[in-house]
Amino acid sequence: MRTELLEQIYTIVAQIPPGRVTTYGRVAKMTEGATARMVGSAMRHLPDGHGLPWHRVIAADRKVADHGGAARQRDKLRAEGVLFDANGRVDATRLWP
């Protein structure tokens, strides 16, 4: 992936406020050519100690994607006041921007 795209993705993710979420696709649309899968890949490959709020990026169906860090991601979101419905979806009012 091009360095410029990674920088754009990281810049966008850094702006997501606590208690809010966005989707991989929404992040991609704010870049100059990234896809939702590229955004997911960028989140998966963040180096340790990066400080980006990766946990605020969720799937288009407003669920936490199924991955090894899913439980940790849900815990981090709950700690910020994000609630999940019975189907595991985040309320649409929490979507950013």
pLDDT tens digits along 76-95? 999 999 999 999 999 999 99
The model's pTM is 0.95
Mean pLDDT throughout 23-33? 98
Q: What is the pLDDT of residues 38-68, one digit of tens each?
A: 999 999 999 889 999 999 999 999 999 999 9
User: In the predicted model, is pLDDT for residue 71 greater than 90?
Assistant: yes
Secondary structure class of 69 (helix, strand, coil): coil
Structure token pair of residue 78:
């709950």
Q: What is the pLDDT of residue 91?
A: 95
Backbone angles phi, psi at 75, to 5 degrees: -60, -45
Q: How confident is the model at residue 1 (pLDDT cuts 50, 70, 90)?
A: confident
Are 63 and 95 in contact by the 8 Å Cβ rule? The answer is no
The CA distances from residue 7 to 3, 10, 27, 42, 50, in Å, are: 6, 5, 12, 10, 13
Q: Which CATH code of 3.40.1790.10, 1.10.10.10, 3.60.70.12, 3.40.50.720 fits the domain covering 2-94?
A: 1.10.10.10
**Residue 21, number of CB atoms within 10 A of its CB:** 23
